[in-house]
Amino acid sequence: MAKKESTFTNMLLTLVLVSLISSAGLGFIYEVTKEPIAVAKDNKKRLAIKRVVPVFTNNPSDQALKIPADNDTVYIYTAINGTDTVGYAIETFTNKGYSGYFKLLAGFLPDGSIYDIAVLEHKESPGLGDQMLKAKSDWSNQFEGKNPENFTLKVSKDGGNVDAITASTITSRAYCDAVQRAYDALKKGGQQ
Amino acid sequence: MMSSSACIEQKGVVENISDGFATVSIMSFSACANCHSKKLCGIDENSQKSVTALTGSKTFSVGENVGIIMKRSLGLKATFIAYILPFILMLAVMLTLNYTGVKEIITGLISILVLVPYYSVIYLFNDRLKKTFTFELTKLE
Amino acid sequence: MLKTFTLGGVHPPENKLSAKEIIKELDIPENVTVPLAMHLGVPAKPVVEKGYPVKTGQLIAKGDGFVSANIHSPVSGKVLKIDKALDVSGYKKDAIFINTEGDEWIETIDRSAEIIKDFNLSPEEIVNKINDAGIVGLGGATFPSHVKLSVPRGKKAEYLLINGVECEPYLTSDHAVMLERSEELMVGISILKKALKVNKAFIGIEVNKPDAIEKLSNIAQEFKGISVQPLEVKYPQGGEKQLIKAVLSREVPSGGLPIDVGVVVFNVGTSLAVYEAIQKNKPLFERVVTVTGKSLQKPSNFKVRIGTPLIKLIEAAGGLPEDTGKIINGGPMMGKALSSAEVPVIKGSSGILILKREESARKEVGPCIRCTMCVKVCPMGLEPYLLMTMSEKALYESLEKEKIMDCIECGSCSYICPANRPMLDYIRLGKNQVGKIIRERKK
Amino acid sequence: MKQWKNFAKGFIKENPVFILFLGLCPTLGTTGSAINGISMGLATMAVLVMSNVVISVFGKFIPAKVRIPSYIVIIASFVTIVDLLMQAYLNTPGPHGEPSLYDSLGIFIPLIVVNCIVLGRAEAFASKNTVLTSLIDGVGMGLGFSFALFLLGSVRELLGAGSIFGMKFIEGNGILLFVMPPGAFLALGYLIAIMSKIKNQLVNS
Amino acid sequence: MDSVILDTVLTLSGLGAGAAIILFFVAQKFKVVEDPRIDEVEEALPAANCGGCGFAGCRNFAEACVKAKDFEGLYCPVGGNETMAEVAKILGRDAVEQDPRVAVLRCNGGCESRPKTNIYNGAATCKIASALYGGDTDCQYGCLGFGDCVEVCDFDALKMDPLTGLPVVNDSNCTACGACVKECPKDLFELRKRAKKDRKIYVACRNEDKGGIAKKSCSVACIGCNKCYNVCPHDAITMNNYLAFIDADKCKLCRKCVPECPTNSILEIGFPPRKDRSAETDNDKNEVTSGEKEININNNKEV
Amino acid sequence: MELILIIIGAVFVNNIVLSKFLGICPFIGVSNKVDTAIGMTGAVTFVMVLATLVTYLIQVYILEKLGIEFMQTVSYILIIAALVQLVEIILKKVSPPLYQALGIFLPLITTNCAILGVAILAVQNEFNLVESVIYAFANAVGFGLALVTFSGIREQLELADIPEGMKGVPIAFVIAGILAMAFMGFSNLV
Amino acid sequence: MNKQIIISPSPHVHSGQSVEKLMYGVIIALLPALLVSIFFYGKGAIAVTLISVASCIIFEFLIQKYILKTQVRIHDGSAIVTGMLLAFNLPSNLPWWIIVIGALVSIGIAKMTFGGIGNNPFNPALVGRVFLLVSFPAHMTTNFPYPQGISTPYISHIDGFSGATPLGIIKEGFKNGKSITELIGDVPSYTDMFIGKLNGSLGEIAGAALLLGLIYMLIRRIITWHIPVSVVGSFFLFISVLWIFSIDGHNIIMAKTSLNIPYISYTNNEGALVPFHMADPVFHMVSGGLFLGAFFMATDYVTSPMVPKAMIIFGVGIGIITGLIRIFGAYPEGISFAILIMNGFVPLMNRYIKPKRFGQTN
Ligand SMILES: Cc1cc2nc3c(=O)[nH]c(=O)nc-3n(C[C@H](O)[C@H](O)[C@H](O)COP(=O)(O)O)c2cc1C
Ligand SMILES: Cc1cc2nc3c(=O)[nH]c(=O)nc-3n(C[C@H](O)[C@H](O)[C@H](O)COP(=O)(O)O)c2cc1C
Ligand SMILES: Cc1cc2nc3c(=O)[nH]c(=O)nc-3n(C[C@H](O)[C@H](O)[C@H](O)COP(=O)(O)O)c2cc1C
Ligand SMILES: Cc1cc2nc3c(=O)[nH]c(=O)nc-3n(C[C@H](O)[C@H](O)[C@H](O)CO)c2cc1C
Ligand code: SF4
Ligand code: SF4
Ligand code: SF4
Ligand code: SF4
Ligand code: FES
C-alpha cells in the first residue's frame, strides 16, 4: 500500500475531501444535538428556578418580568402550578460582594416569604465568601421561610436579623443586599 | 547547560561551497524540541533549514560537520524585525482606524493587510539585512 | 581621608610579629639547591655541569629567551649535580645542587658598605645590566624585571610606583628593607626612573608602617621626583592594580597591564636589587626573607642566599615547633603551603610562615548561602560564588564571560566566606582551563 | 500478550502525563476534583480512540504533506462531536447548582484538539498500525491519561476539599490552595516525582 | 437543516482548500525533511549520551553517521561492535570493527605501599590537588585518590577502594568511553584492548623517577630495571624514562615478565593462580568477584 | 481604561500560564534559556495577535453570520496551523538572512493550546475587535512574563544542587506552583 | 621522622565568619520583637513560636536524614530563622496543626525540594505564610487576638476577643463604602501601632522593636541598608503619590477622634470633613508587616539579589507591589506576595546586573 504522492491536486483533493466528510458529519451531529443542547440550556435556568420555588407546571423562564434596578435589571419569573401562582423566582444581583458583582436567584412564595435562594454566579473568595453557596455550608438556610416584612435583611452587626458568615461580613451584607433588591422588585412588580 | 555566552552555536553540515560562502544545513526544532517525548508527540516538526555563512580563512569540505556561530544579540534583533515590529505596526494601524471610526471588518482586514507593505519593505532592505545577519563557521572535532 | 582602592578588600589581623626585627645575615649553608625555574617564564638553561667550581655571583644558568632570567651562584663551591629537586611548586623540577666551600665572590662585585648615589648609565645600559643580574620581581610574582622595563612601542610610562605596601599579614621583609636600606632603595628607585624615562615615582606604604613612611619621606626630600604615599591598611592593596588605583586613581583595564595606564610597578626589594646590580655590580643571589609565625620562638628577618633550604631559616628562628601544621612560602593569604621544609629559598620567597596545627585546618565546607560577602570583598568586582560553581560544573564559556581571568587570586573571597567555601581553589582551576581555551583559540 | 503490553503501557511506563509530560494543560486545568479529572480523561480518550481508528484506516490514503492538516481536521471534528454531545447530554447542573460537567471542563474540551497525545498518537502510531492495534493503543493511552487525571484530581480534591467524588471526609474545607491553580502545579510536580520513581523501580525489577 | 450542513461543508472545504494551498507551498519551500534514518540510528544507539564517541550526544552522533560517507572516526565505544553493526545495517554500509577495550589504572600505589608524607586539606578533587602539588606522597605521578574519575564514569564502572584509596575498574561495566582517561589529571588511565576472558597484564605505574627515588616513594613503583624488557619474547615492552610499558597489541599474555619484576609493579589480572608460586603469592592476592568473572587484584602488599 | 484593565487582568490577575493553564508545554519545554524565552515571547506575541485577529474576523463575519458557531474548533485550528506556516514561508521568501538568524535562534513556533485557547477565550468574553487583539497581546505578555521569569529561575537552578528525584520537570512545576501562589497577590486587582 | 604537615591552596587564614554566626545574629535581632509580642499576646505568642521553630527544625532534620539522605545541617540555624519568621507572620491563636502545615510547606516544599539552604529561589517562611493565607483564609485574615492586659482607647472600644487587623478593617470598611473618617475610630493611633498595641501577627505589631533589630543587623553587618531602605522608601513614596493625587484639592488637617486620638483628616474649602477612601501614608507605614518584610524577609540572602544596584531595584519592586496590593488588591496586606513575586525576578537580576568590574571599559 504505497502512500499517496504529494502532488498539488492530490493534496488539494485529499484535504477538501477530508473537510467535506468531516463537515458533513459535523453538520449532521450538530443537527442531531441541536434540540438537546437547547433543552439543556433551557433546563439550566429551569432547574435553578425549580430549586427555589415549589413545584410548578408552567415554563417560568418563558416570560420574565423585567424590573430596572440600580442601572441593571432584576428578572421575575412566575411559577404556576396548574392555575395557581405558587411562587416567584427572582434573578437579582449585588455589587457589594468582596469581589464586587454576584448574582442570586431568590425564590419567594406568593405571601412574600422566602422559599429558597440559589447562587447563580459569583467570584467570592473560596473558603470565605463562597460559604454562601449551599454546596459549601448551611449558612443560607437561615433565610428560608423568613418574610422580609418582619425579618430585617441586614447582618446582626448592622442591626439586622442575619447571622453573618464567619469572617465574611462583606459577602453576607452583599447577599442581604441582593435579596432585599429582589424583595423590593417583587413589591414593585406586584404593583404592576 | 547555562549559556550566558554572547553567542549561540548550532551544529550543521556543509552542503555546498562557493567563493567564500558555505551553505550549511541545520536542524531547527519546534517549540517542543526540549521535550523528551517529542517523538511520541507528532509535533516533532524539525525541519532542515539552510544557512549561508562566511567561511573566513578556514577551508571546509562538503559533508563536514561544522558549527554555526551567531551573536545572541542578533537573534533578538531578528525577532524584533520579524515579529515585534510588524506586531506594533498592526496594533498601531488597528488602533488608529478604530479611533477614526472605520468599520470593524475593514479595520481588521486592513490591519492584516498592512503586513504586506511591511514585508515588502523588508524585502527591499534585504541587502542591508544580509550585511547585519552574518554567521561564522567553526570546525568541529 | 587616606587613599586606598575603591572596590572590595578585607582587613585580616596584621600579625606583623617581626616588624621590629633588624635584618640578620644567615650563615651560608653547606649545600644549596638552585632551581632553574625561579621566575615567571621559561626556565633558565644551566651553563655549568657536574663538578664545575663556581664562585659566589657567578652566572650558572642563562635566561632562555626574552621572558626568562639569569641565575647566579649564591655560594662558592662545586656543582654537585644537576637533577630534579622538590621546589615550592610542589613538584620535582630541575635544579643545580652546589656544595659550598668558603665564600669567594666574583671580583667585579663591590662588597664595600659605601652607598654610591651617582650613576650615569643610559636607560638601555641599565636594562641590560638588570637583565644580566637576573633580577626578577621580588614582590612575589617573580616576573623578570628587564621585561617590565622594556616599555612596548606605542606605550609610554608616566609614573613609577614602588610597592612598599606589604599588605600580607605577618610579612615584614619589605618593611625591614625600607627601614634599613632606605638610601640605597632611593637610589634604586632613581635608577628605575631613569630606565623608564619617567619624572615621578611614588612609594606606596600602608599606615601600619609609620616608621617607614616617616623615614622614607625624610630621605625622599633629597631625591627629585620621589614621594611617599601613605595608604589605608587594606588587603590586597599590594596588588599592582589596586595600588595604581589607590595612588593614582587609574584603573588598569580588564585584561590589561599597568603600562596601559602609563604605570610600572616595582617592589621595594626589587628596587634594592636594582641598586645593588647597577651600583655594586651584584647580581641577584640573596634576598631578605621574613621567618614568622605565632608558634615560632624568634620571628626574624634574615638576609639569605638563594638556594638555602628553608629548614635552615626556621632553625635560625628557633626551630620548627612541635605543633606545626603548615609551612607556607609567603604570607597567609597568597603564600603557598609547602609539602616539605627542605625546599630551597628562591628569588620570590619573601617570607616563611609557620602556622600551628589548629590554625591550619580548614573548616567544613557548607553550601553557598548567597550572602554576597565574597562579591563585596572582591577587589576586582567579580562574583566569586558564581565563578566557583561554574568551575565546579565546568562551564568554561560562561566563566570567560564572567571575567574569571581578571581574578588576581588574592583569596579575599575564600577568606570571608561564612560557608568556608574554597572559592579560590576552584577559581584557579577555572582560570587554568579558560586560559587553555583562550590560548587554543589564539592559535 | 503483545496487545496487552500495548494496552498497559499507558498506565505507568509510558503514562502520558507523569512520564511523557503530554497534555499538561488539561491535566492542570481540569483536576479541581476527581470527577472532573476523570471526565476530561474519558473525553480525551473518546477522541483519541475515534481518531486513532479513523486514521489507521484512512491514513494510508493521505499524501504525506497534508498529513498533519488532514489529521487536524479529523481530530477537530471528533472534538467538536464530543463537545456537542457533552453540551447536549452532560450539561445538567448539580443538586446545589454546581456547574455542569460541561461547564466545568470549559475551554479544555475544544483544546483536546491540540493535545499532543491525540495528534501524536495519530501521527506516530495510528498511521502506521492496524485498526485493532490502534484501537487498543488509543484505549490504553486514553485510560492512562484518565488515570493520571483521576489521580491528580483525587489528590487535589482530597487535600483541598477533604472529599473524593464529592464524598466528604472531613468537616469544612481542606487545604484550599490545592483546589486553586498553585495547588495544581505543586501536586502535579510531586506526583511526577513519585511516579517516575515508581516507574524506575518497575523498570529495574 | 440543509442550509447549516451546506454552510458547514462550504466553509470547511474552503478552509481545507486554503490550508492545502498554503501547506503545499510550505512543503515546496522546506523540501528536505530530516532523514528518517537519523531516528533509526539514534534508536539503535545506547542512549547513554556519554560523549564517548566525541559528539555531544547520541543524536549528534547519529546525524554524523548518517551524513558521513563512511565510519571513519565514528565509533560508539559504549555500544561496541554490535551497535555499530546495527547502525551499519540501517545505513547499508560495511561495519567497522574495533577491538573492545577496557580501562586500566596505571597506578598501584595504595596506602601501604606509598606512605603519605603530607595531609591535603583543600577542595577534595584531584584536579585542584594536582594543580597544587605532586601529591601527598613522595610519588608525584601516582593517584591522588579524590575520585574525580569515579564522578565522571556514567556506567558505574569505577569505585574507590577505601582500603587502597585507589579507584577500581569493574570490567563488566566499563564501556571504554574514555571519560576517565580525559578526567584524570595524572593521566593514569589507559584504554587497553580487551583480551580473552578479560585477562590483562600491564605495568601499573607511571613513575618516571630513577629507580632509587621511585622505590623510596613507593614500594610497588616501576624502577626501570629493564628485567621485564629483557625477558619479553614478543617485544611488547618498551622502556622510557625509567618506566616500562606493555603494548597490549603485542602482548601475548605469556606472563613471563610478571615474576621478573622486583617491585611487583606488573599486574596480571584474570588469570588462574600460578601453580609454582602459588604458595607465596596467594596470600597477597585478594580475590574479588564481580558478576560471574573472577578478577584478581593485587592488594599492594609488599612482598 | 477598559483596555488597560484587560491588560492588567490578563498579565497579572489571570495569567494565562499561572492561572489559566494554557501553554504549559512550551512553558516547561522552552524555558531553559532566558534569551530563547525572550525570543519566543516576541514570536508568540505576533502569532497570537495575528491568530486572534483572523479568528475574530472568521468568527464574527463567517461563523456567526452563517450560524455555524459550532465549527469554531475546526476552523480555528486549521487557520492557526496554516497561519504559523505561512508566516514562516513569507519570512523565508522576504528575507533569507533574517529567516536564517531566526532559525538559529528560535525553535519553531508550534500551534500550542495557548494560541487556540486565547482565540476562543476572546470570543467567549464577547470582546470586540480591538479588545480581542489587546487581549491576545496581553496574554502574550503574560505568557512572556511567566516564561522569562521562569527561565531565569531555571537557569540559576542549573547551578544548584537539586535533589535527584526532583530534577527537571517536577521542580519546574513546584516553581510554577510557588510563582502562581505569589501571583495570587494580584487577585482582584481589577 | 617526617612529620605530616598540612598542605592546601591559599588562603591559609579565614575571617572566622560563619553561617551560624549570621543566623544567630538574625535570631538575636528578632528577639526584641518577640519579646514585645509575648508581652502583648502572652502564651499564644510563645506557643506559636515554639511550635513553628520546633516543626521547622524537625522537618528539616527528617527530610535531610531520611528523604534526601544528605548531611544533616540543622545546626546552621537557618531553620530556626525560618521558623521564627514564619511564626512572626501568624496570629497568636492559630491552631497548632495549621502551624505545622505551614512549617512543612516552608521547609519541605520551599526549601528542601530545591536542595536545602542556598538553593531555594523563594523565601521559605513566606511561601509557608502565603500558603496558609490562601488555604486557611478565615484563620489568617480576621482572627487576630487583641493585646491582653493593655487598655488603649482602641482596645476598650472593641468588643470581642479577636478581629481583623487595622489594615483589614480599613480594607473592609472601604468595601462597605465607608470613608476613612468613619473608620479611623476603629483602628489604633499611629503611635500605638508603632509600639505594638494592636492586633496582628506576632511580628507585624512592633515596628519599633523591628527597627531595633534592623539597627543591630546593620551594625553587625549582617545585612546592608539597600533592601530595607529601598523597600520602605519606595513604598512610602508610592503611597504618598497615590494619596496626594486622591486628595484632590482637599485640605489635610490633624483631627481628633471621639476618643481624642489624633489622626490625619481632610476638609473641603468650607472646612467641613469630607469622606475619603484612602488611608494616609503614615498609617500605611506603621500598620501591617511592612517593617518585618522589609527588614527580615526581603533581606534573606538566598532569595535576594547579589549586587547593590539590583538590591535597590528589588526593593523598589517590593515597595510598589506592596502598595498596589494594599490599595487595589483583594488582600489587606501585600508585602508577602510582593517579596515572593520579586524573588521570582532575582535570578534575572543576578544574570543581567553585574557588579562594577574593576577596569571595566564602557
Ligand atoms: C483574600 C481575602 C479574601 C476575602 N474574601 C472575602 C469574601 O469573599 N467575603 C467577605 O465577606 N470577606 C472577605 N474577606 C474579607 C475579610 O475576611 C474581612 O476581614 C471580613 O469580611 C471581616 O468580616 P468579619 O466582620 O466577619 O470579621 C477576604 C479577605 C481576604 C484577605
Ligand atoms: C605576558 C606578560 C607580559 C608582561 N608585560 C609587561 C610589560 O610590558 N610591562 C610591564 O610593566 N609589566 C609587564 N608584565 C608584568 C605584569 O604587569 C606584572 O607585574 C606581573 O605579572 C606580576 O604581577 P603581580 O605581582 O601583580 O602578581 C607582564 C606580565 C606578563 C605575564
Ligand atoms: C593580591 C596581591 C597582593 C600583592 N601584595 C603585594 C605586596 O604586598 N607587596 C608587593 O610588593 N607586591 C605585592 N603583590 C605583587 C604586585 O602586584 C606586583 O607584582 C609587584 O609589586 C610588582 O613588583 P615586582 O615585579 O618588583 O615584584 C601582590 C599581588 C597580588 C596579586
Ligand atoms: C538576613 C537574613 C534574613 C533571612 N530571612 C529569612 C526569611 O525571610 N525567611 C526564611 O525562611 N529564612 C530566612 N533566613 C534564613 C535563611 O537564609 C533561609 O532559611 C534560607 O532561605 C534557606 O535556604 C534569613 C537569613 C538571614 C541571614
Ligand atoms: S561568601 Fe560564601 S556563602 Fe557568601 S555568597 Fe560568597 S560563596 Fe556564597
Ligand atoms: S581571589 Fe579572585 S575572585 Fe576571589 S576576591 Fe580575589 S580577585 Fe576576587
Ligand atoms: S585515578 Fe586520577 S582521577 Fe582517579 S582518583 Fe586517581 S588521580 Fe584522581
Ligand atoms: S571506567 Fe572509564 S572508560 Fe570505563 S566506562 Fe567508566 S569512564 Fe568510561
Ligand atoms: S501547551 Fe497546553 S497541552 Fe501542551
State which ligand 9 atom lies nearest to the alpha carbon of D115: 3
Is residue E269 within 8 A of residue E200, CB to CB? The reply is yes
Residue C202 has pLDDT above 90, yes or no: yes
For residue F110, what pLDDT is reported?
61
What phi, psi does A73 have (nearest 5°)?
Answer: -130, 140
**What CA–CA distance (Å, rounded) separates B100 from F62?**
25
Residue A192 has pLDDT above 60, yes or no: no
Ligand 8 atom 5 nearest Cα: E174
Lowest-confidence segment of A2-16, F36-50, G247-261 by average pLDDT: A2-16
Cα–Cα–Cα angle for B26, B30, B35, rounded to 5 degrees: 115
Find the CB nearest A51 among D85, D88, D97.
D97
SS3 of F14, please? coil
Please enumerate in sequence order all residues whose Cβ is within 8 A of that of C37, keeping only pairs 6 or more positions apart, or say none.
Answer: C43, C44, C87, C89, C93, C94
**A16 with E1: Cβ contact below 8 A:** no
**What CA–CA distance (Å, rounded) separates A40 from A43?**
5
For residue E8, what pLDDT is reported?
78
Of C147, G159, D107, residue with least CA distance to F113 = D107
Positive or negative, the CA dihedral G263, G264, G268, G270 is: positive
C215 and chain E: CB distance < 8 Å anywhere?
A: no
Q: What is the pLDDT of residues E79-128, one digit of tens each?
A: 888 888 888 888 888 877 777 888 999 999 888 888 888 899 888 899 99
**Cell numbers at residue G149, please?**
492586659
Residue percentage of chain F with pLDDT more than 70: 95
Domain membership of residue E22 (yes or no) is no
Domain membership of residue A74 (yes or no) is yes
Residue E53's domain is classified under what CATH number? 1.10.15.40
Of F70, D69, A30, B104, residue with least CA distance to E15 = D69
The crossing angle, in degrees rounded to 10, of helices G335-352 and G308-328 is 150
Q: Enumerate the domain spans of chain G.
A: 20-155+166-352
Structural domain count, chain D: 1
Neighbouring-strand partners of residue B136 = B54, B69
* Residue C56 per-residue DSSP state: B
For residue G48, what pLDDT is reported?
96
What phi, psi does F44 have (nearest 5°)?
Answer: -65, -35
Q: Are strands C286-292 and C351-356 parallel, antiparallel or unpaired?
A: parallel
Residue E176's domain is classified under what CATH number? 3.30.70.20
**G137 with D186: Cβ contact below 8 A:** no
For residue E282, what pLDDT is reported?
43
Average pLDDT value for residue range C318-332: 92
**What CA–CA distance (Å, rounded) separates C275 from C168?**
25
- The one-digit pLDDT tens for each residue of chain G (362 residues) are 346 889 999 899 999 999 999 999 999 999 999 999 999 888 999 999 999 999 999 999 999 999 999 999 999 999 999 999 999 999 999 999 999 999 999 999 999 999 999 999 999 999 999 999 999 988 888 788 888 766 666 666 666 677 888 888 888 888 888 888 778 777 888 888 888 888 889 988 888 999 999 999 999 999 999 999 999 999 999 999 998 888 777 778 887 777 777 777 778 777 777 777 788 899 999 988 999 999 999 999 999 999 999 999 999 999 999 999 999 988 889 999 999 999 999 999 999 999 999 988 65
Domain membership of residue D61 (yes or no) is yes
Of G290, G53, G45, residue with least CA distance to G166 = G290
Neighbouring-strand partners of residue C45 = C62
D10 Cβ inside 6 Å of ligand 9: no
SS3 of F126, please? coil
Find the CB nearest F188 among A26, A27, A99.
A99
Domain membership of residue E280 (yes or no) is no
State which ligand 5 atom lies nearest to the alpha carbon of C373: 1
Closest chain C residue to F161, measured at CA: C367
- Residue C17's Cβ-count burial label (10 Å; 0-12, 13-18, 19+) is buried
Residue percentage of chain F with pLDDT more than 90: 52
Neighbouring-strand partners of residue B18 = B21
For residue C128, what pLDDT is reported?
94
For residue B34, what pLDDT is reported?
44
Strands, E assignment, A43-160? 64-69, 72-81, 84-97, 100-108, 114-121
Q: What is the pLDDT of residues C266-301, one digit of tens each?
A: 999 999 999 999 999 999 999 999 999 999 999 999
**What CA–CA distance (Å, rounded) separates G192 from F104?**
63
Q: Which residue has the higher pLDDT, F125 or D70?
A: F125
- Residue A80's Cβ-count burial label (10 Å; 0-12, 13-18, 19+) is middle
Residue numbers of E between 18 and 77 with CB closer than 8 Å to F? 18-19, 22-23, 25-26, 29-30
**Cell numbers at residue C62, please?**
642563562
G26 Cβ inside 6 Å of ligand 4: yes
- Residue F87's Cβ-count burial label (10 Å; 0-12, 13-18, 19+) is buried
Q: Which residue has the higher pLDDT, D69 or C389?
A: C389
G328 and chain A: CB distance < 8 Å anywhere?
A: no
Q: Are residues E128 and E210 in the same domain?
A: yes
CA distances from F165 to D29, D189, F162, G114 (A): 25, 11, 8, 11
Structural domain count, chain F: 1
Q: What is the pLDDT of residues C424-434, one digit of tens each?
A: 999 999 999 99
| Mean pLDDT over each residue of chain C, to the nearest integer | 93
Query: Within 13 Å and on the Cβ side, how many CA atoms surround G256?
Result: 5
CATH number for domain C123-280, candidates 3.40.50.11540, 3.30.70.120, 3.30.110.30, 3.40.50.150: 3.40.50.11540
Q: What is the pLDDT of residues A156-183, one digit of tens each?
A: 888 888 998 887 888 999 999 999 999 9
A95 is in which domain, residue-wise? 52-188
Domain membership of residue E138 (yes or no) is yes
| Mean pLDDT over each residue of chain E, to the nearest integer | 80
For residue F57, what pLDDT is reported?
94
Global ipTM: 0.88
F83 is in which domain, residue-wise? 8-184
Please enumerate in sequence order all residues whose Cβ is within 8 A of that of C305, keeping only pairs 6 or more positions apart, or say none.
Answer: C26, C28, C29, C32, C74, C75, C285, C286, C345
Domain membership of residue E16 (yes or no) is no
Residues of chain G found within 8 Å of residue A99, distances taken between Cβ atoms = 330
Query: Within 13 Å and on the Cβ side, how many CA atoms surround C21?
Result: 24
Is residue G192 within 8 A of residue G290, CB to CB? The reply is no
**What CA–CA distance (Å, rounded) separates D22 from D48?**
13
E58 is in which domain, residue-wise? 37-91
**Cell numbers at residue E52, please?**
564517548
For residue E290, what pLDDT is reported?
37
Q: Are strands C159-163 and C200-206 parallel, antiparallel or unpaired?
A: parallel
Lowest-confidence segment of C249-263, D34-48, E20-34, E265-279 by average pLDDT: E20-34
Is residue C368 within 8 A of residue C386, CB to CB? The reply is no
Lowest-confidence segment of A18-22, C401-405, D36-40, E4-8 by average pLDDT: E4-8
Neighbours of A179 (CB within 10 A): 25
CA dihedral G98, G104, G105, G111 (to 10 degrees): 150
E295's enclosing H/E stretch is strand E293-298
Q: Which residue has the higher pLDDT, B14 or A115?
A: A115
Domain membership of residue D127 (yes or no) is yes
D22 is in which domain, residue-wise? 18-204
CA distances from G357 to C382, C404, F26 (A): 6, 11, 36
Q: Distance (Å) from the C-alpha of residue B8 to the closest C-alpha of chain C?
A: 11
CA dihedral C152, C155, C158, C161 (to 10 degrees): -50
Ligand 4 atom 25 nearest Cα: G300
Give residue D202's identity as a one-letter amino acid code.
Answer: L
Structural domain count, chain A: 1
Q: Are residues E205 and E87 in the same domain?
A: no
- Select from E29, E34, E59, E72 the residue whose CB has the most chain B CBs within 10 Å, as the one to mutate to test that interface: E34
Is residue C150 within 8 A of residue C198, CB to CB? The reply is no
For residue A4, what pLDDT is reported?
56
Lowest-confidence segment of A17-21, B3-7, B100-104, D181-185 by average pLDDT: B3-7
Lowest-confidence segment of C52-56, C65-69, G177-181 by average pLDDT: G177-181
Q: Are residues E177 and E237 in the same domain?
A: yes
Residues G19-56: b if buried by 16+ CB within 10 A, e if exposed: beebbbbbbebbebbbebbbbbbeebbbbbbebbbbbb
Domain membership of residue F94 (yes or no) is yes
- The one-digit pLDDT tens for each residue of chain D (205 residues) are 677 877 887 788 888 889 888 888 899 999 989 999 999 999 999 999 999 999 888 877 887 777 777 888 889 999 999 999 999 888 888 777 778 888 888 889 999 988 878 877 777 777 778 888 889 988 998 999 999 999 999 999 999 988 888 888 887 788 999 999 999 999 999 999 999 899 888 887 7
For residue G156, what pLDDT is reported?
62
pLDDT band at B37 (very low <50, low <70, confident <90, very high): very low
Structural domain count, chain E: 2
**E60 with B13: Cβ contact below 8 A:** no
Of E225, E209, E208, residue with least CA distance to E263 = E225
**What CA–CA distance (Å, rounded) separates E82 from E88?**
10
**Cell numbers at residue G104, please?**
512543612
- Concatenating the DSSP letter of every residue in G174-195 gives HHTT--HHHHGGGS--HHHHHH
C337's enclosing H/E stretch is strand C336-337
State which ligand 4 atom lies nearest to the alpha carbon of G116: 23
For residue G325, what pLDDT is reported?
94
Is residue F36 within 8 A of residue F104, CB to CB? The reply is no
Most confident of B50-64, E71-85, E197-211: E197-211
Neighbours of B12 (CB within 10 A): 28
**What CA–CA distance (Å, rounded) separates C217 from C151?**
28
Residues of chain B found within 8 Å of residue E56, distances taken between Cβ atoms = 11
Residue B36 has pLDDT above 50, yes or no: no
For residue B28, what pLDDT is reported?
52
Is residue G303 within 8 A of residue G324, CB to CB? The reply is no
Please enumerate in sequence order all residues whose Cβ is within 8 A of that of B53, keeping only pairs 6 or more positions apart, or say none.
Answer: B21, B22, B24, B68, B134, B135, B136, B137
What's the CA-to-centroid distance between E129 and ligand 2, angstroms? 27
E26 and chain A: CB distance < 8 Å anywhere?
A: no
**What CA–CA distance (Å, rounded) separates C214 from C206?**
12
For residue B111, what pLDDT is reported?
92
SS3 of A67, please? strand
In which residue are the cell numbers 559504549 written?
A: E78
CA distances from C275 to C163, C272, G198, G222 (A): 16, 5, 77, 49
A63 and chain E: CB distance < 8 Å anywhere?
A: no
